[in-house]
Amino acid sequence: MREVAIVGIGMTKFGELWDMSFREMGIQAGLMAMQDAKISAEEIDALYVGNMSAGRYIEQEHVAALMADYSGLARDHIPAIRIEAAGASGGLALRQAYLAIASGMHDAVVVGGAEKMTDVGDAISNKIQSSASDQQWESVFGATSPSLHAMIARRHMHEYGTTREQLAEVAVKNHRHGALNPFAQFQKEIDIKTVLRAGMVAEPLGMFDCAPNSDGAAALVLCSMERAKKYTDSPVRILASAQASDTLALHSRADICTFEATRYAAQRAYRQAGISPKDVQVAEVHDNFTISEILAIEDLGFFEKGQGGRATADGQTSIGGKVAVNTSGGLKARGDPIGATGIAQLVEIVQQLRGEAGKRQVSGASCALAHNVGGTGSTAVVHILGVK
């Protein structure tokens, strides 16, 4: 297996981008990444696109070829591949691109992620997002993505004494970080009272416990480590890439307070990178709900099971804490355009490892982790990255 590096990053602002279409967002992110890498179109061997549900959000399928077309790559007839794994689509697209280069099949590829969610109303978006759960045995009975996560939250509170306030602290912290990120959907701090007072989505989770519906796209240029030196003096190395699955329905698990897919993917990734959780300085984790971040920081091994809420309230996951989690603002504040999310996590991590994260910079960051989840913990993708 060859070593793989990230040499270019690009992303649109995340938010309600009503003046941009799906394809415009994708092209903007992709071209930014190629410009960042100073790589020419002729050098690109393949295009990977993470996307969950363009067919239902904008009634457009076949989006990989569409992106290749509008980025001007159709003339070169490179392969363009779409990858779908619900919320983990972006992370999984990165993994497929990584595998292609590691295997020697390709030398340089673009991997992007995009989702256009605000062209439909909330009720329709809710239905589309519910389709990542078991349609016939969960969604059909009225279980929504927020309500499934709410049941995890309630059980976590029951078993470990996690409090409503500790959940809220996740949102407060991620908004504090997001306020420092010019690409974030919400660049505004909130206090704990705002989170606790917000209208209920699915009890005990309120509006500020949920990531927003967003539009956005993000992209990366990947190449072999050998080739990377041609483009940059500071390539970011992919030290590990791992993926794991679990049952689609949440009710098929023995314990809903642990995402086994995250635990397995993390174990494999730590082994491949030859590091342990305590070596990670920066982590972008999948906080589509506040409870999700608490599960993530426990299942990734940063904190003991049941201690995630307390660790968050104690500031251990803030910039300057034991491990800086979601310095970008996370899905909660940066925004969660589903297929783009896993790639946007990497954009943040590359900025952190290059020392280009501005006010969000974690000083001396040299080892970072990205964690992307699809469905209710049914797919988990973990990447570990480093410099030097």
Strand, helix or coil at 341? Answer: helix
| Burial category of 233 from C-beta neighbours within 10 Å (exposed 0-12, middle 13-18, buried 19 and up) | exposed
Site track for other proteins across 205-224, x = CB under 8 A: x-------------------
CA atoms within 13 A on the CB side of 385: 32
Q: Answer yes or no whether residue 144 interacts with other proteins by CB under 8 A.
A: yes
Stretch of residues binding other proteins (CB under 8 A), selected from 8-16, 186-194, 247-255, 304-312: 247-255
Q: How far is the CB of 124 from other proteins (least distance, A)?
A: 7
Nearest one of 23, 88, 13, 92 to 333, comparing CA atoms: 13
In the bound state with other proteins, the residue whose beta carbon lies nearer, of 149 and 173, is 149
Size of the site for other proteins (CB under 8 A): 36
Q: Answer yes or no whether residue 168 interacts with other proteins by CB under 8 A.
A: no
Q: Answer yes or no whether residue 122 interacts with other proteins by CB under 8 A.
A: yes
Distant-in-sequence, close-in-space partners of 219: CB < 8 Å, separation ≥ 6: 8, 9, 10, 11, 26, 29, 30, 32, 33, 110, 111, 112, 113, 343
Nearest one of 190, 203, 198, 171 to 332, comparing CA atoms: 171
On whether the CB atoms of residues 116 and 168 are closer than 8 A, the answer is no
Nearest one of 319, 332, 322 to 290, comparing CA atoms: 332
Pick from 137, 276, 356, 358 the residue near other proteins by CB under 8 A: 137
Pick from 142, 182, 320, 364 the residue near other proteins by CB under 8 A: 142
In the bound state with other proteins, the residue whose beta carbon lies nearer, of 123 and 182, is 123
**3-state DSSP helix/strand/coil percent for the chain, to nearest 5?**
45, 20, 40
In the bound state with other proteins, the residue whose beta carbon lies nearer, of 130 and 327, is 130
Pick from 155, 164, 230, 305 the residue near other proteins by CB under 8 A: 155
On whether the CB atoms of residues 324 and 283 are closer than 8 A, the answer is yes
Q: How far is the CB of 96 from other proteins (least distance, A)?
A: 27
**Phi, psi (degrees; rounded to nearest 5) at 181:** -110, 110
Q: Answer yes or no whether residue 171 interacts with other proteins by CB under 8 A.
A: no
**Phi, psi (degrees; rounded to nearest 5) at 162:** -60, 140
In the bound state with other proteins, the residue whose beta carbon lies nearer, of 135 and 276, is 135
Stretch of residues binding other proteins (CB under 8 A), selected from 144-152, 167-175, 269-277, 333-341: 144-152
In the bound state with other proteins, the residue whose beta carbon lies nearer, of 155 and 354, is 155
Q: Answer yes or no whether residue 136 interacts with other proteins by CB under 8 A.
A: yes
Q: Answer yes or no whether residue 158 interacts with other proteins by CB under 8 A.
A: yes
Stretch of residues binding other proteins (CB under 8 A), selected from 92-100, 173-181, 202-210, 307-315: 202-210
* Strand pairing class (108-116; 215-224): antiparallel
Stretch of residues binding other proteins (CB under 8 A), selected from 69-77, 161-169, 197-205, 299-307: 197-205
Pick from 19, 59, 123, 363 the residue near other proteins by CB under 8 A: 123
CA atoms within 13 A on the CB side of 357: 30
Rounded CA-CA distance 321/311 in Å is: 10
* Chain contacts with other proteins (rule: CB under 8 A): 122-124, 126-127, 130, 136-144, 146-148, 150-152, 154-155, 158, 199-205, 249-252, 256
